[in-house]
Amino acid sequence: MLTLIPAEQRRTLPELVDRLDLRSGEQASKTSAFWIMLTLSGVIAVSGIAADSTATVIGAMIVAPLSTPILGIGLGIVTGRGRLILSSLGYVAAGLVLVTVLGIVVSQLLPNPTNVLANSQVLGRTSPTLVDLLAAIATGLAGAVAITRRDVGDVLPGVAIAISLVPPLGVVGVCLGSGAPSLALGAFVLFASNVVAMIITGIIVLTIGGYAREATEDAEREPASGASRSRARAYVILALALVVVAIPMVLNSLSSLWSRQVATAADSWLADGGASSAEVTGVSWSGSTVTVSVLAPQDLPDVAQLQRTVDDLVPWDPQVVVVHTVGARESAG
């Protein structure tokens, strides 16, 4: 039978508090290490985003220490430590500001800040979907299990790469500095979804692991009744936060699905209309308008036919605009 946290490998509550509470033990050392590593991670991430370098961005993910206070929030909720929750929230909020500011500053140093908005590091983080949320939940579970078991700590670098906390914040800063607040909002939703998923999964694993039972009454913990009310409030807030971040992710998922359907419908429309050499090069949305970009050497079929097909596919009947570029792709040989 599989055991989530075997007794012989389970970290004790004091061990977890020492690892996740930046105010416990050697506070000065922990705090300085957190800020130094987070600053370096932010610089690496923003540099990788500006240079469109995936390898550099991955390096920033490994260095980033933000998962420590995020899991600290989960531990504080499970064990009823209000001060741990507040201090961990403070570290996360301050880290958010730090990395975002770094992104804004670096974007101002670029010769043409708007060029960075089209690179893969930005585009891949500004339209998160439900798939990203699913990945965040699975990664959060892996991180929570790794932090509670002594024998799987080696997976934490991989978890850091998968959860992707600092790069989305770097994208937020770069987009704000480049005058693209809507893209910045999309990247922030990705960051927020990762944080919420990590807290929720951390709470689940820590509760299953018995840390709520192990928690003892001490000066830092609230009375039992107060702790119970605090946990209830925290669960409600997390549920609301999950709904808030899930809404734009659902919309992005539907938009992606509809884009594929519209592209397929446009291919059929071109083929049925005799424009066999024409090619659909892109589908984009802007409010209630869907723009279909077509590369073709000849005239196109009647757009009204495509409009009727799209009306059948998309429930809110968007207006179809076709951008026709006259030409054809050529290749040697």
Residues 198 and 272 in one domain: no
167, 197, 221: which is the final residue of a domain?
221
The answer to the question of residue 227 being in a domain is: no
How much is the pLDDT for 215? 76
How much is the pLDDT for 278? 87
How much is the pLDDT for 162? 62
| pLDDT tens readout for residues 63-90 | 778 889 999 999 999 988 889 999 999 9
User: Taking residues 262-281, what's their average pLDDT?
Assistant: 88
Residues 149 and 58 in one domain: yes
Helical ranges in the chain per DSSP H: 13-20, 27-51, 54-63, 67-79, 82-109, 120-123, 130-148, 156-163, 166-177, 181-208, 211-214, 224-272, 303-313
Residues 273 and 182 in one domain: no
Q: Closest Cα to residue 192, out of 237, 258, 226? A: 237
The answer to the question of residue 264 being in a domain is: yes
Q: What tokens were used for 162?
A: 């998968």
- The domain total for the chain is 2
How much is the pLDDT for 27? 87
Is residue 127 within 8 Å of residue 248, measured between CB atoms?
Answer: no
CA angle 12/14/18 to nearest 5° reads 120
The answer to the question of residue 228 being in a domain is: no
Q: What tokens were used for 294?
A: 């077509």
Residues 261 and 214 in one domain: no
Q: Per-residue pLDDT for 213 more than 90? A: no
User: Taking residues 80-106, what's their average pLDDT?
Assistant: 94
Q: Per-residue pLDDT for 315 more than 80? A: yes
CA angle 213/214/216 to nearest 5° reads 100
Residues 268 and 210 in one domain: no
The answer to the question of residue 285 being in a domain is: yes
201, 221, 241: which is the final residue of a domain?
221
Token match 């607040």: residue?
181
Is residue 80 within 8 Å of residue 215, measured between CB atoms?
Answer: yes
200, 221, 242: which is the final residue of a domain?
221
Is residue 320 within 8 Å of residue 303, measured between CB atoms?
Answer: yes
The answer to the question of residue 7 being in a domain is: no
Neighbouring CB atoms inside 10 A of 316's CB total 7
Residues 268 and 130 in one domain: no
Is residue 115 within 8 Å of residue 180, measured between CB atoms?
Answer: no
CATH number assigned to the domain comprising residue 85: 1.20.1080
- Domain range for 265 is 255-326
User: Taking residues 296-307, what's their average pLDDT?
Assistant: 88
How much is the pLDDT for 1? 38
For CA atoms 211, 23, 235, 172, the dihedral sign is negative
**3-class state of residue 291 by DSSP:** strand
How much is the pLDDT for 59? 84
Residues 89 and 46 in one domain: yes
Residues 174 and 281 in one domain: no
CATH number assigned to the domain comprising residue 319: 3.30.300
The answer to the question of residue 83 being in a domain is: yes
Residues 158 and 287 in one domain: no
| pLDDT tens readout for residues 144-177 | 888 898 887 655 666 666 667 899 999 999 999 9
Residues 68 and 163 in one domain: yes
| pLDDT tens readout for residues 217-257 | 444 444 555 567 778 888 999 999 999 999 999 988 998 89
Residues 210 and 285 in one domain: no
The answer to the question of residue 333 being in a domain is: no
Say if strands 279-286 and 319-326 run parallel, antiparallel, or are unpaired.
Answer: unpaired
| pLDDT tens readout for residues 19-44 | 899 998 888 999 999 999 999 999 99
Residues 321 and 175 in one domain: no
The answer to the question of residue 234 being in a domain is: no
Is residue 163 within 8 Å of residue 140, measured between CB atoms?
Answer: yes
Q: What integer best gives the mean pLDDT of the chain?
A: 87
Q: Closest Cα to residue 258, out of 193, 311, 205, 305? A: 311
**3-class state of residue 192 by DSSP:** helix
Q: What tokens were used for 204?
A: 């689940």
User: Taking residues 316-325, what's their average pLDDT?
Assistant: 90
Ramachandran assignment for 128, one of left (phi > 0), alpha (psi -120 to 50 degrees), beta (any other): beta
User: Taking residues 306-328, what's their average pLDDT?
Assistant: 88
How much is the pLDDT for 103? 95
Class of residue 299 by CB neighbours under 10 A (exposed 0-12, middle 13-18, buried 19+):
exposed
